[in-house]
Amino acid sequence: MAERKIRVLVAKPGLDGHDRGAKVIASALRDAGLEVIYTGLHQTPEMIVSAAIQEDVDVVAMSILSGAHMTLFPRVKALLDEEGADHVLITGGGIIPEEDITALRGLGIGRLFGPGTPTSAAVDYIRAWFAEHGRDRDVVAT
């Protein structure tokens, strides 16, 4: 039986319309063999969580350049927890001060990546996290 691919939802929440970084990371993850779903621009936390549940993802990776990271990451986490999807890794990147990264980590948000980080760092992080925390899914034969 083939090994199941890691499923990653790449999301661009809020009003920020700069999605180059999200598209770059989505391509890098796909090129590394992960299954990627890209939501596009202007997603609300509710839309992100709905897509994450529908797509049964392992990881939600958000790109936030708007400065709203202290609101958006915790809101997505809270909504995932409410849906019983507390097993989903929340990671991402953007312009996020180190003290905010530390605070978000304390709230259960995974590693966050800043500008200039090699895409391989995100790929390696997600793979390592999944190897340790990923869940097996029951596969139903049709």
Express each pLDDT in 118-127 by its tens digit.
999 999 999 9
The boundaries of the domain holding residue 117 are 7-133
pLDDT for res 141: 34
Q: What is the pTM of this model?
A: 0.92
Give the pair of three-digit tokens for residue 138: 């029951």
In the predicted structure, residue 108 carries a pLDDT above the cut 80? yes
Q: With respect to residue 138, please indicate whether it lies within any of the assigned structural domains.
A: no
CATH number of the CATH domain containing 58 = 3.40.50.280
End-to-end CA distance of the chain: 15
Mean pLDDT of 19-33: 96
Q: Residue 139 domain-assigned?
A: no
Residue 1 lies in a domain: no
| 101 domain-assigned | yes
